[in-house]
Structure 1
Amino acid sequence: MNFFLETLKLIVLLIYYLLESLVFLVVPGRKKNVSGEIVLITGAGSGIGRLLAIKFASLGATVVLWDINQEGLNSTVRLARENGAGRVHSYICDCSKTQDVYRVADQVKKEVGDVSILINNAGIVIGKRFLDSPDSLLEKTIQVNTMAHFWTYKAFLPAMVAANHGHLVCIASCAGFLGISHISDYCASKFAALGFAESIDMEMRALRKTGIKTTIVCPYVINTGMFDGVKAKWPRVLPILDPEYVAERIISAVRQNQEMLFIPRIFYFLYFFRSFLPVKAAVLLLDYFGGMEIMSTFKGRPKKE
């Protein structure tokens, strides 16, 4: 009897959740108020991190900015204060170093308070073939793009669990579910970050901590300088993304408690097809969209930026 009831419950809820997602696709859900929330953003000295800081500050949130680049961090602080109503705090932090993350996290908790929205945005990319990539840079990629998520969660998640309130945001990548030539380390780090974020989300659900939300963001190449030189094969179909657009989509996803965000939307379909297509067919699709040679023109962000 339990089998019958649980199967019936499964079918009913599956239909409900599918219909709910279709409705929200057409009619966006109500956006939550982030005014007064303490939002910590790693990699806030440039790119998407900087834009998110400005936008969250404008919504009245207290923003805590981490970056290894003092000059970039100072610029973000200035822009956030000019455009925002919330408080702005900045800290130099090397997210590749465990003890540095814990040390600065303790400083934030003492000086600002418990972080309620954590955005793991810091990331690096080498852009070389695997056999041409120095071991030190391979390790650095994993430390910044993956392991830093472990340490920030360890630092800030306990307070969220205690309050049953918080939001964990993982800025992953479309390279987090699809292997791409020349960025094997980057893909591995984003696969890991995505899997980690999903697993922690499942842990929170198992603990019945319904007040702690998770948003995983998987964007295509963004025009921020990180992937400078990369060109789209079919820009009308799959363009290099505008940073402002991406930042707006991320803010909306967080405020609507959206669990998974692919940018652009075509990746929802590619992600679906990837799950059952034969490998040769998936490679053919990847080649059609320019994924096989996308890194051939890669230059990357200048070291001074």
Structure 2
Amino acid sequence: MIGIIMIVYQYVLLACDFVHLVLRSALIILKSAWHVISPLPLKPINGEIILITGTGHGIGRELGLQFARLGAKVVCVDINEVTNKKTVGDICREGGAAWGYKCDVSSKEEVHAVSCRIREEVGEVTMLVNNAGIMPCKAFLKHTPEEILDIFRVNVFAHIWTLQEWLPSFIAAGHGHVIAISSIAGFIATSNLVPYCSSKHAVKGLMEGLTEEMRYAGRNPDIKFTSVHPFVVDTGLAKKPRIRFPTFNPITTAEHCAAQIIDGVRKEEEVICIPSRDYYGHIMMQLMPRQVRKAFLDFMDTGVDEDEI
């Protein structure tokens, strides 16, 4: 008799859980629809201490400038001391607050040493932007083992080293925000970028795993994670981009990409950085079957050609 009661109880519990899932999903859809009509207020940036890697040029530099204009204190980290100093100088000339540090973020030891200095000289970081990356463009078999290791050291392990330094601080404080620059290549791979695509898929998985780990059982609901997936951006990494319809689908500027990223960070949403604002790329990736996506990509003929060696 007890066994029958337990079986019935389990089925009733399963039915209740299913009803809860349906109601919760419906509520989320309704809230999302309402927020399209009546957007939530943007997250304030003023007073945040934001550490950004790869601020010497491109997206990282623009993020530093634009975050500073919103009142953030910006910690600029780059392996190139000369260009990084220029970014810091430009922020300060605009009246912003910025500090510059030279660091090879692929090195766990250097990341730890620089993080200690930042704590002493600036304070506890409240937002972490893992932006630094490299993108050699050539066929997979032309990459040397060391080149592939370098791609993963900079594009993946640098995220892990900085997270290990600052995520404990976020947990201790009960709040914080991690922003990771992945890529459209983290959704849809392309030729001549096989190791790069692999590294960006890894970043996407890292961020999704951390998001689930922090939210599970309400552990750290106020630590936010934003993944960013830029299209081809004019940063100099892709020296020979190939775009069939440049008028319809132009290369994104670093300035515009940074603005989209900051907008997404302030809305606490995943970011797809594309030239237009209709998010057709996001819709395509989420809704189209794999073979249809491939056919669409063949039609668009967008990617990168091999760098000249």
Q: TM-score, normalised by structure 1?
A: 0.91
Task: Tell me the alpha carbon deviations over residues 179-228 of structure 1, each in whole angstroms, 9 at most, x when there is no partner.
Answer: 21100010000000110011111111015211111110001000121113
Q: 1:178 to 1:80 in 2, by over 3 A?
A: same
Q: Alignment RMSD, CA only?
A: 1.7
User: 1:229-240 alignment to 2 at 5 Å?
Assistant: 229-240=240-251
Task: Tell me the alpha carbon deviations over residues 140-174 of structure 1, each in whole angstroms, 9 at most, x when there is no partner.
Answer: 00010001111110000001001111000011000
Q: What is residue 35 of structure 2 aligned with on the other side?
A: 24
8 Å contact from structure 1 (residues 172, 190) kept in 2: yes
Q: What is residue 182 of structure 2 aligned with on the other side?
A: 172
User: Is residue 101 of structure 2 the alignment partner of residue 91 of structure 1?
Assistant: yes
User: 1:1-305 alignment to 2 at 5 Å?
Assistant: 1-85=12-96, 87-206=97-216, 207-258=218-269, 260-264=270-274, 265-274=279-288, 277-279=289-291, 281-291=292-302, 294-296=303-305, 298=307
Q: Which amino acid aligns with 1:174?
A: I
Q: Which amino acid aligns with 2:304?
A: M
Q: 1:106 to 1:161 in 2, by over 3 A?
A: same
Give the secondary structure class of the aligned counterpart of 1:269.
helix
Deviates more, 1:224-233 or 1:137-146: 224-233
Deviation at 1:299, TM superposition (A): 6.0
Give the secondary structure class of the aligned counterpart of 2:200.
helix
Task: Tell me the alpha carbon deviations over residues 106-153 of structure 1, each in whole angstroms, 9 at most, x when there is no partner.
Answer: 111122111110000000011010100121111100010001111110
Q: TM-score, normalised by structure 2?
A: 0.90
Q: Which amino acid aligns with 2:18?
A: T
Q: Which amino acid aligns with 1:4?
A: A
8 Å contact from structure 1 (residues 55, 84) kept in 2: no
Give the whole-Å Cα distance in 1 for the aligned partners of 2:82 and 2:163.
Answer: 26
Deviates more, 1:9-18 or 1:118-127: 9-18
User: Which segments of 5 or more consecutive residues in structure 2 lack a partner in the other structure?
Assistant: 1-11
Deviation at 1:20, TM superposition (A): 2.6
Give the whole-Å Cα distance in 1 for the aligned partners of 2:256 and 2:25.
Answer: 32
Larger C-alpha radius of gyration, 1 or 2? 2
Superposition misfits of 4+ residues, deviation over 6 angstroms: none
Give the secondary structure class of the aligned counterpart of 2:185.
helix
Task: Tell me the alpha carbon deviations over residues 253-293 of structure 1, each in whole angstroms, 9 at most, x when there is no partner.
Answer: 111111x111221221121135xx254x33222211214xx
8 Å contact from structure 1 (residues 54, 84) kept in 2: no
Q: Which amino acid aligns with 2:151?
A: T
Deviation at 1:235, TM superposition (A): 2.0
Q: What is residue 8 of structure 2 aligned with on the other side?
A: none
Give the secondary structure class of the aligned counterpart of 1:65.
strand
The total of aligned residue pairs comes to 293
8 Å contact from structure 1 (residues 231, 297) kept in 2: no
Identity %: 34
